[in-house]
Chains A and B, each alone.
Chain A
Amino acid sequence: QSALTQPASVSGSPGQSITISCTETTSDFSSYNYVSWYQQHPGKAPKLIIFDVSSRPSGVSNRFSGSKSGYTASLTISGLQAEDEADYYCSSYTTSDTYVFGTGTKVTVL
């Protein structure tokens, strides 16, 4: 199972909105609404911020939102803040009962 494809980096100014894409090209991905997103600050463990494509765990800011269309899932961060500067990873469940992560995106707040 190949990793899901994400842009290596995305940047934005404080207050702006940015969108990170997560793309896969096999039917493993498109058939399921089991995409999750993780935020990882340097030296820290990842933290779940979106599950089941668009659901937010309790305590996660509503500035984070997720969506999916066909082979591409997206994470949008609105009202960008300095604390959002981190690495972001998508993940998907596959038909092999396994999981695959995306290649990761570094978000920079200008």
Chain B
Amino acid sequence: EEQLVESGGGLVQPGGSLRLSCVASGFTFSNYWMSWVRQAPGKGLEWLANIKQDGSEKYYVDSVRGRFTISRDNAKNSLYLQMNSLRVEDTAIYYCARTISATPGAFWGQGTLVTASS
């Protein structure tokens, strides 16, 4: 069974850092682009970043570029999102998703909640 399991969310003070992880199973992780997408409470989806199969290409939405870094470790079937200089408005559920062709969310994890609050 294909699975994506996110972890690493929690409560962090504004200005702080957090590293999210996403572990893949049930499919060949190294064959796919991967994305991070977030959803603020009661709000819509926001695509954040994606990364090529070998990590050689990365793209970001303007709102997180320079603060967030996407990375992956294919040997560990893992995707990461390093989040620095967190803001209150970064509070959201963060999803990792398998990307196919030009479809950012072909398959999704269940998400991990990040709360940036003092």
Contact = CB atoms under 8 A, between A and B. Distances in A.
Contact of A52 (B95, B102, B111): B102
Contacts of B37: 46, 101
A34 B95 contact: no
B35 A34 contact: no
B39 to A, nearest CB: 8
Contacts of A36: 102-105
Interface stretch (B54-62, B66-74, B80-88): B54-62
A45 B35 contact: no
A28 to B, nearest CB: 12
Q: State which size class the interface on A falls in.
A: 20 to 34
A64 interface: no
A34 B101 contact: yes
Q: Chain B: interface secondary structure?
A: strand
A106 B25 CA distance: 32
Contacts, number: 68
B29 interface: no
Nearest to A87: B44
Nearest to B95: A45
B27 interface: no
A45 to B, nearest CB: 4
B110 to A, nearest CB: 5
Contacts of A98: 47, 50, 59-61
A63 B111 CA distance: 28
Contact of B105 (A3, A91, A104): A91
Contacts of A29: none
A38 B45 contact: yes
A29 to B, nearest CB: 12
30 contacts: A1-B61, A1-B62, A32-B102, A34-B102, A36-B102, A36-B104, A38-B45, A38-B105, A45-B110, A46-B37, A46-B105, A46-B108, A48-B107, A51-B100, A51-B103, A89-B44, A89-B45, A91-B45, A91-B47, A93-B102, A97-B59, A98-B59, A98-B60, A98-B61, A99-B35, A99-B47, A100-B47, A101-B37, A101-B45, A104-B45
